[in-house]
A and B are shown apart, each in its own frame.
Chain A
Amino acid sequence: MKVSLFITCLSDAIYPRVGEAMVRLLARYGVTLEFPPIQTCCGQPAFNSGYWNEARTTAKTIIEAFEDSDFVIAPSGSCTGMIHHYPKLFENDPAMLDKALALQSKTYEFTQFLVNVLGVTDVGATFRHKVTYHPSCHGSRLMGIKDEPMALMTRVKGLEFVPLPHAEDCCGFGGTFAVKMSDISGAMVSEKSDHVKETEAEVLVGLDMACLMNIAGNLRYRNEPVKVMHLAELLYEGVR
């Protein structure tokens, strides 16, 4: 069975440690990830900005990259969600539509795969810190990833979980939104950081590096000493 890693461009370029954590964690269950090197970006920046021709160009690369995979696993609910948008992108191209549907049906966000497919909730980790969690919008609202991360976190020994006030509020990233509407985005991320600070957590964890880069960047700007991690990193840190 071929299980492929869709690293996402952001984790590839800036957060390789997230990919490494996923690979090492899944290897503990005998799941070897493959890495098709032709993969690039899911195309979301172009798609969300209305540039669908450009989005199609990168979508085709992704579809080709994972054509013969049985499972595609990504450390992002948002990029996974983008792949779930591919059928809409190719609705007038029957040949590509079939391929897009096939890719959609086999693409999972990391915790979905771990919990729902593999049936793993207790990875045997220990992590003695106060942790809060930001549920990213695309993952939680559009992909329905709500219980999976909680199931994993509650089973980590020593982890003290503090709920994030107004957790469901968007962090203000929104891709090109953060650049085009930088002041609105700035107001949103500042509010999010206020809430993180209220929890007095040492670690903020999430499932999407884009949102986490946004929040971490603001926390660092304000000199808040909160560590920001992807859940895969936290879990791997806890078992090593």
Chain B
Amino acid sequence: MSHGAKGGATVKERAELALNNDFLRKAVKFTTERLKNGKLQAMKEHGNWEEWRERGRQIRLHTIAHLDYYLNLFVENARANGVHVHFAETAQEAVDISMAIAERVSAKTVVKSKSMVSEELHLNAALEKIGVEAIETDLGEYIIQLADEPPSHIIIPAIHKNRYQIAELLSEDAGETLEADTKILAGYVRRRLRSKFLEADIGMTGCNFAIAETGSMVLFENEGNARMVTTLPKTQITLMGMERIIPSWADLEVMATLLPRSATGQKLTMYMSGITGPRRSEDADGPDEMHIIIVDNGRSLQLGDPEFQELLNCIRCGACLNACPVYRHIGGHAYGGTYSGPIGAVLTPSLNKNIAEWDDIANASSLCGACYEACPVKIPLHDMLVYLRRRKVEAGHSNKLEDAGMKGFATLFSKSGRMSTVLKLGKIGQKFVARDGGIRLKIGPLKGWNTYRVTPTLPKKSFRQQWATLDAEIREGLKEMSPDIKRRMEQAVQSRKNGGTHGHGHS
């Protein structure tokens, strides 16, 4: 499967493709809006959302701060349950471990479910090379596998396709025309996959949470396929990002409250499975052999980095994507990586130590903060985007033209006199291009802006030029301050001295 960036080397080019694709924009808008509204409704019904959100954040902060301890505990317990635990520092190592297992059990087919990590590793392509067929069994994943595309959303991988496009793909797969009806299409995939589940030698899943106290892993899903994947094949492999840990089942209660509500607005997903080790003799079903591959692949870069450690708190709910106005317009493929949306824009560069290889994905944000507001564990993604931009500048990988522009900016705005001079020049210059108090010219730096807008002209006098007259007039007719207002202002100064603050919700 080719997982390269879809048709475009830069974010701008990829975004342009998406912006010109009305099907995509309509489909993404429709579904993100449904999910976003679902989440808002679920928050309202929950009644105590902010408090639980803070609890969730605290659990994640605590776990990540003691990640080595909880990882050890998890591994010890999982091993005691009879699980083979592997560590993979890089994507390649994780692929190698998976392939070695597949070869040892002479696997011909692998059925898969719910794993963004496996997308990160491009595992399907690697398995194909050694002659192992990998079959995605989540409906959305199955669709994009047929289309040979990467996922465009963390939890709705085929969000960019409408049901007619999906019907077309599935019809081709079926060799007969299927009606573009969700039930019919889902029914077809279910029938088609049934035999695959029974045939498969390996079941492979991701992991929503790993519970340290018992060495268990927990999966949330709606289709029931993850349950098949984890019970039918003889061998089970779980791919798990090293940060998926939470300490206890009690903590899971908080996460189970936050995750489905944030993802889809559901109180709980249709299925929630907790898996603790392979099949015991008294169990009716389950794999004989169970492996957990704990994947680093750049995650430990964030450990101990005060600006980015919170990134490890992410529970991959997708709420930030659904809240993001940029994502709504350009969809997931424009981000060019496995993870898209605000979390992808931060995660993709953060997982890569080599700043020279970062593309300009962090620039594809207006820094509106909708992601932070939506995030169930309050990750300040909008701040992190700025830190990424700064790191790129500091490492000398910025755009040279912009470097010059920003130097000019600093020179200009360090002294008010310089600013006034430039304004004067601007007033002279605009005489040549302004009509009816507006500038419509579409050349040079104004091209992009004026493709969508009319630029206002500079007024005759700037504020500072009007100040002396205005100030004199005000002072002449000045009213006396009421004692109440005076007292309030003094109080504000006093409370400030006592350390009171206002504004800035996070910081």
Binding site for B on A (CB under 8 A): 1, 3, 7, 9, 11-17, 19-20, 23-24, 27-32, 35, 37-41, 43, 45-55, 57-58, 60-61, 70-71, 80-81, 84-85, 87-88, 104-106, 108-109, 112, 116-120, 137-138, 141-145, 168-170, 172-175, 177-191, 213-214, 216-218, 220-221
Contact = CB atoms under 8 A, between A and B. Distances in A.
Interface in B486-507: 486, 488-490, 492-493, 496, 500-507
Contact of A218 (B389, B413, B453): B453
A50 B391 contact: yes
Interface of B: 11-12, 15-16, 19, 325-326, 329-330, 360, 363-370, 372-373, 386, 388-394, 398, 402-403, 406-407, 409-410, 412-416, 419, 423, 426, 438, 445, 447-449, 451-456, 458-459, 461-464, 466-467, 470-471, 474-475, 477-482, 484-486, 488-490, 492-493, 496, 500-507
B485 to A, nearest CB: 5
The 8 closest A-B pairs by CB, nearest first: A182-B448, A174-B366, A217-B453, A30-B481, A50-B389, A170-B368, A54-B410, A186-B452
Nearest to A43: B413
A45 B386 CA distance: 11
Contact of B398 (A50, A177, A190, A216): A50
A41 B416 CA distance: 9
Given A141-B373, A174-B366, A80 B488 contact: no
Contacts of A20: 463, 466, 470
B462 A16 contact: yes
Contacts of B363: 177, 180-181
Contacts of A116: 502
Nearest to B329: A187
Given A170-B368, A221-B452, A12 B413 contact: no
Contacts of A141: 368-370, 372-373, 505
Contact of B409 (A1, A54, A87, A173): A54
Contacts of A218: 452-453
A117 B415 contact: no
Contacts of B504: 81, 84, 104, 142-144
Nearest to A218: B453
B446 to A, nearest CB: 9
Nearest to B495: A105
B463 A108 contact: no
Nearest to B330: A184
